[in-house]
Structure 1
Amino acid sequence: MSFGKAITLNSGATIPQIGLGTWLSKPNEVENAVEIAVKNGYRHLDLARVYQNQDEVGRALKKVIPSVVKREDLFITSKLWNSSHKPENVEKELDETLAQLGIEYLDLYLVHWPVAFAPGQGLFPKHPSKEGEVDLDLSTSLVDTWKAVIELPKTGKVRSVGVSNFTIEQLKGIIAATGVKPAANQIEAHPLLPQDDLVEFSRKEGIHLTAYSPLGNNLVGKPKLTDYPVVQEIAKKLGATTAQVLVAWGVYRGYSVIPKSVQEGRIISNFKQIELSKADYDEITKIGHAQHTRFNIPYNYSPRWDIDVFGEPEEKNATNKVKIQ
């Protein structure tokens, strides 16, 4: 059985290029999905505290370790949630994640968002005076949090550390303050959101990019990437699924890619890598030249995060900026 290609991070660790995403899965689906994935060759699992399903993943891990794989054969990523950005809470949340998963260490631990929430009031603390908004912690900076995160590998509980949803400006800020570059930055990445400047910056700095939502997102009123004629035509020509074509687009750009599915057939087919020619890659890339679409913008969430993370037009009315230092 092929376990796919792997990429070496700046920490020296190797990350399998195709992984299983576990975001937006319904209760009791993830346990089965993880078990299917590992039995069919996946070795990279992408998790997060806020997905509220790490206990399910833990149950699945008990089923496949050591009967199917050794722990050291898996690459397990999880993420620090916004409500634990204060330095004194960083390792505590890591310990909770490890307990949920029933394992002794993570291969990669990411700062999930460049946004701090008020601690001690659950995952989405309510703003005391603004209805429908999250209570932000505007006193804790990204540098404060990153300084705590980069100490974690010394504990043996984490092999590599990184970030998620960070912009070039935010990356420059934490690197300048600490001298430590993230091993990875997990970002929304697909043909409608190529983020060429961020890709080039990351390449120069040796920061690996992991692509989430590689198939886009199923927003009402927005065409699905899998429905674009060029994607369907290339899939038909290659005898592949449209999802395989979009995963291959991310692979062509050097990302690791974490498509999410809970359906056995799709989990298996998403892992079967195909290769795009430069001509096919260029044709798919043209989709993003015609329009720019970011699906995952916290200012649009419910409850709303009143903060400008990406500088997108949808965030123009946000009254807060990311506190970098």
Structure 2
Amino acid sequence: MPGEGNLGDVKFILRNGVKMPAVGLGTYRIRNSEVLYRTVDYALEAGYRLFDTAAVYQNELFLGYALRKLLPKHGLTREDVFITTKLAPADLGGHLAADAFRKSSDNIGLDYIDLYLIHFPGAANINAQNPKNAELRVETWKEFIKLYDQGKAKAIGVSNFTIRHLTELIEATDVVPMVNQIEWHPHYHQDDMLQFCESHNIRIQAYCSFGGLAVSNNTLMEESIVREIYGRYKATPAQVLLAWSLQRGVAVIPKSLTPHRIKSNIQINFRLSQEDLLRLDSLGKANMKYAWDPHCIA
């Protein structure tokens, strides 16, 4: 991590050399075309170049429309932005994955996707403990490898995978995911996962960077340690939490609909001290998880 400048301008280099912006805009639960259009407009103006969507978000079509209209407005081209989307659990499986990728690409209106992720290690409508889940994951990953080899996806990875799930994919195919997008914040961070991903050159990308804010739980944002730290740095609580992840080498995709928050979330012009990083680490003793848990998936 560079020592000077804005953390929001950093790019992480994936294992295949692809440069991925360290900060992107999440679009979870933005299912209104006009709202998403305005949000993308604000974000491009603020300097965002990575946009994260998924088939299950039901907004790929809206994002594609916004990009077609707004990239020229901001003097940008397709190559200037990094687009991530994800395969729905209902489409886990070889032939289903191929069809789902085509649908997502068509929805967004792109010739290629910058990063394509398996959204969850379990398949829809299959019991969590059913060993069929593991078979479908490997089948799907083999299809992802084909998409990558054909240049249709510039990078491929997974989301919500545990170390066991990652290990199974690697052992079955010898192809290591480039990204694992997981829940990651001071209340819930897995040091063993970070060590595993670093040793295999897998980039962790965090969601739920603000804890349970998406489900109206402000507990993390209101932690006394967070409040004390952001006051000293003259920053927002969100900026402190994002800086904590970025300084650990973890990419982030914060979501906001508010122009000034969208702007401040990518303008992180300070570095947390080692002491403050460790103090935020200590909040992990709470082990508070706010999103779906993949550990039960066979």
Tell me if both proteins adopt one fold, taking TM over 0.5 as the criterion.
yes
Match of 1:303 in 2: none
Q: Does 1:310 align with 2:270?
A: no
Determine the structure 1 residue equivalent to 2:25: 20
| Structure 2 gap ranges (5+) | none
Per the alignment, residue 166 of structure 2 pairs with: 171
Q: What aligned pairs does 1:1-325 form with structure 2 within 5 A after superposition?
A: 4-28=9-33, 29-68=35-74, 69-118=76-125, 138=132, 140-218=135-213, 223-273=218-268, 274-289=270-285, 291-297=286-292, 309-311=294-296, 321-322=297-298
One-letter amino acid matched to 2:106: A
Q: In 1, Cα distance between the equivalents of 2:166 and 2:211?
A: 24
Aligned alpha-carbon RMSD (Å): 2.2
CA distance, structure 2, for counterparts of residue 34 and residue 215 of structure 1:
20
The alignment-based identity, stated in percent, is 36
Cα displacement (A) at 1:297: 2.2
Q: Secondary structure at the match of 1:103?
A: coil
* Alignment CA distance shift 1:238-1:25 (3 Å): same
TM-score by length of 1: 0.83
Question: Which structure shows the bigger proportion of residues in helix conformation?
Answer: 2
Structure 1 pair 117–278 and aligned structure 2 pair: CA distance change class (3 A)? same
How many residue pairs get aligned? The number is 288
How far apart are the structure 2 equivalents of 1:90 and 1:156? 16
Q: Cα 1:219–1:89, aligned 2, differ >3 Å: closer, same or farther?
A: closer
What amino acid is aligned across from residue 138 of structure 1 in structure 2?
Answer: K
- Mapped contact 1:193–1:288 kept (Cα < 8 A): yes
SS at 2:9 equivalent: coil
* Deviations 1:205-255, CA, capped at 9 Å, x for gaps: 100000001001138795521111111111111110000000001001101
Letter in 2 for 1:88: H
Aligned mates of 1:114, 1:237 — CA distance in 2? 41
Structure 1, unaligned runs of 5 or more = 119-126, 128-132, 299-308, 312-320
Q: Which runs of 4+ in 1 moved over 3 A?
A: 136-140, 218-223
How much has 1:64 moved relative to structure 2? 2.1
What does the per-residue CA deviation read over 1:63-83, in whole Å, with 9 as the maximum and x for residues that have no partner?
222332111111111001111
Partner amino acid for 1:19?
Answer: G
- Considering Cα pairs closer than 8 Å and 6+ residues apart, tell me whether 1 or 2 has the greater RCO: 2
Cα drift, residue 27 of structure 1: 2.1
Query: Residue deviations 1:152-179, cap 9 Å, x none?
Result: 0123221010000000001000000100
Q: Structure 1's 32 and 117: CA in aligned 2 closer, same or farther, altered over 3 A? A: same
